[in-house]
Amino acid sequence: MDLQQKQQFFEQAIDSYSRPLYAHIRSIVISHDDADDVLQNTFLKAWTKLDSYKAEASMSTWLFRIATNEALQHHRKIKLRRWFSLGTLPETKATNDTSQEISKVLENALETLSTQQRMIFGMKYFNAMKYSEIAAITNLAEGTLKATYHQAVKKIKNFVSQHEREF
């Protein structure tokens, strides 16, 4: 594969996978800015490793694996940063925009889940992936994935009912 072919292939990959990868990353790292950093890093890493990519795994699985590793690594960094800054979170701007508020509520709901629950919920719910596809990416058993997903859904439902007054 020459450089031009490689670039063409890469552009197609960005077109096809940037949205599902964004949703997956966003459900792990929560904020848009972090998701943006991780997504760019994912594509840059994919570019550097494109020569070593073997068609054994599908392109989607390969990219999702890179994105998962990048997102988890970034999430660990955020947690450590929060720990060093004694748990203070960056202030969010108050907004009257309903869509922004919905996103904020969604972020808060996702925050109640564990990292693994968020990761699996993101892949299953937002990307409508099959358990077999998620299992290929995460190396987890399908039974574990099902249980984790149902726990995540339950937690989000609880969050919504508990915060009913705030809405």
Instruction: Using CB under 8 A, list all residues that contact another protein.
Output: 7, 10-11, 14-15, 18-20, 22-23, 26, 32, 36-37, 39-41, 43-45, 47-48, 70, 77, 80-81, 84, 98-106, 109, 125-128, 156, 160, 164, 167
Rounded least distance, CB 11 to another protein, Å: 7
Of 77 and 154, which CB lies nearer to another protein in the complex structure? 77
Q: Residue 155 in contact with residue 112, Cβ under 8 Å?
A: yes
Of 83, 84, 101, which Cα lies nearest the Cα of 92? Answer: 101
Of 100 and 114, which CB lies nearer to another protein in the complex structure? 100
Rounded least distance, CB 116 to another protein, Å: 19
Rounded least distance, CB 85 to another protein, Å: 10
Q: Residue 24 in contact with residue 70, Cβ under 8 Å?
A: no
Of 127 and 148, which CB lies nearer to another protein in the complex structure? 127
Of 42 and 148, which CB lies nearer to another protein in the complex structure? 42
Rounded least distance, CB 42 to another protein, Å: 8
The distance of Cα 76 from the centroid of its chain, to the nearest Å, equals 14
- The CA distance from 42 to 51, in Å, is 15
Structure-block tokens of residue 80: 């450590």
Which residues have a Cβ under 8 Å from the Cβ of 20 and sit 6 or more positions away? Answer: 60, 64, 126, 127
